[in-house]
Amino acid sequence: MASLISVKEFNDRRRRLMERMAPDSIAILPAAPERVRNRDVLHPFRQDSDFHYLTGFDEPDAVVVLIPGREHGESVLFCKERNPEKELWDGFLAGPEGAIEHFGLDDAFPISDIDDILPGMIEGRSRVYYPLGKDHNFDAKVMDWVKVIRSKVRSGAHPPGEFVALEHLLHDLRLYKSAAEIKVMAKAGEISCEAHKRAMKRARKGGYEYNLEAELIHTFMENGARSTAYPSIVGSGQNACILHYIENSAPLKDGDLVLIDAGCELECYASDITRTFPVSGRFSDQQRALYEVVLAAQYAAIEEVRPGNHWDHPHQAALKVLTQGLIDLGLLKNTTVEQAIEDQAFKPFFMHRTGHWLGMDVHDVGDYKVGDAWRQLEPGMALTVEPGLYVAPDNTDVDEKWRGIGIRIEDDVVVTKEGCRVLTDAVPKTIPEIEALMAD
């Protein structure tokens, strides 16, 4: 599958970052390391999101360096050299030449030469942008390079005087998605929607939660998404009340709901969808009543996703609908919506916020507040909208008929100039739509 993000866009990202860097500075960012799963078996490699965002280069043992104003090229990559014998075992390597030819870097060197070359690039730069503390082994290397420069001060060397967190500049860029990024995220959402629909149909056959998880993974891979964006949650019955349930091993029982929170990752971009549906294909009266409240809360929250509103507007809209629903159904008693929200009486039933930023990480980067104020929503920002209600099986403050019901509905939403666009609306979420799909 050809990449939906062009080499030009990666070049533009590096340029925009360098435009925000202080004069006379350098940025250094290592690739993700390979990680051992067990003994001599490695986990499938997944590139560091920041590194991929700037380069599109998906090999370990690499370092990207940005040096505004460098005569021989501002963007430099250190990476592994081509090695036919190693490539016979482990696959193709781009090498320094490929980094320039295929990934648009200005200059490239073998990673084995980094100790000889990079200190000279750092020397004379007053400020180093670097993600200090993210990789302790690489931190030690950077400090060693600085020590080399400091050891030559009497010979006229100029070590950097300041280290600045690279994330402060880079993550603000990542928060605003380009048209190409939104296209990738929409495709990831499309694949995930199909997976959720197939899992709904599969549930009617009974079996176990992992049978539905298998349906999800099969659909992801069949459509070119080689991995999940996060461990899939398939919680049936009271397991749906466990927010990060990933055991996915319980039997599917008629009369129970199933909550599936799952999404694929495509070209390092995440999708994140939650749907809740009945194993039998038909909602009970209590399930239906709670579900309608959650759905109404999600619609109210999505309505608030538009430029000019701030990050907390969707959450507050959902919270009011959920709290009113809890009062109307008798799960909260002797209170008003305003009082219940002030007292946080809803917390036993709704204990998380209504969404998070979405992008290359499922809980994507970006500040939710600027100073002490909630961040304003702007075109290009992508987020989830995911209200829920969870009645714990041991909650003796409510009638037994409600206990053990967990419901969450989640979609991926992008802020547009006019309002917002829901990327994942192809999977049913109204009760008639769900029941019709499962009866098909």
Token pair 């090999």 in the structure block, residue: 59
Selected catalytic residue, list 13, 174, 275, 408: 408
Selected catalytic residue, list 15, 16, 102, 363: 363
Selected catalytic residue, list 123, 181, 215, 410: 410
Q: What angle do CA 297, 303, 308 make, to 5 degrees?
A: 130
Beta-carbon contacts of 51 under 8 Å, excluding residues fewer than 6 positions away, are 29, 30, 31, 32, 57, 62, 64
Selected catalytic residue, list 386, 411, 412, 435: 386
Selected catalytic residue, list 116, 154, 244, 418: 244
Selected catalytic residue, list 82, 204, 218, 352: 352
Selected catalytic residue, list 261, 265, 361, 412: 261
Please indicate whether residue 136 is annotated as part of the active site: no
Please indicate whether residue 81 is annotated as part of the active site: no
Please indicate whether residue 372 is annotated as part of the active site: no
Please indicate whether residue 74 is annotated as part of the active site: no
Selected catalytic residue, list 19, 40, 394, 418: 40
Please indicate whether residue 410 is annotated as part of the active site: yes
Selected catalytic residue, list 181, 196, 390, 411: 390
Q: Are 278 and 257 in contact (CB under 8 A)?
A: yes
Selected catalytic residue, list 356, 361, 364, 411: 356
Rounded distance between C-alpha atoms, residue 253 and residue 257, angstroms: 8
Of the candidates 405, 362, 368, 409, the residue with the CA atom closest to the CA atom of residue 386: 409
Q: Are strands 36-38 and 41-42 parallel, antiparallel or unpaired?
A: antiparallel
Please indicate whether residue 386 is annotated as part of the active site: yes
Of the candidates 312, 311, 314, the residue with the CA atom closest to the CA atom of residue 302: 314
Selected catalytic residue, list 209, 213, 256, 272: 272
Please indicate whether residue 171 is annotated as part of the active site: no
Two structure tokens written together for 440: 């098909």
Catalytic annotation, residues? 40, 244, 261, 272, 352, 356, 363, 386, 390, 408, 410
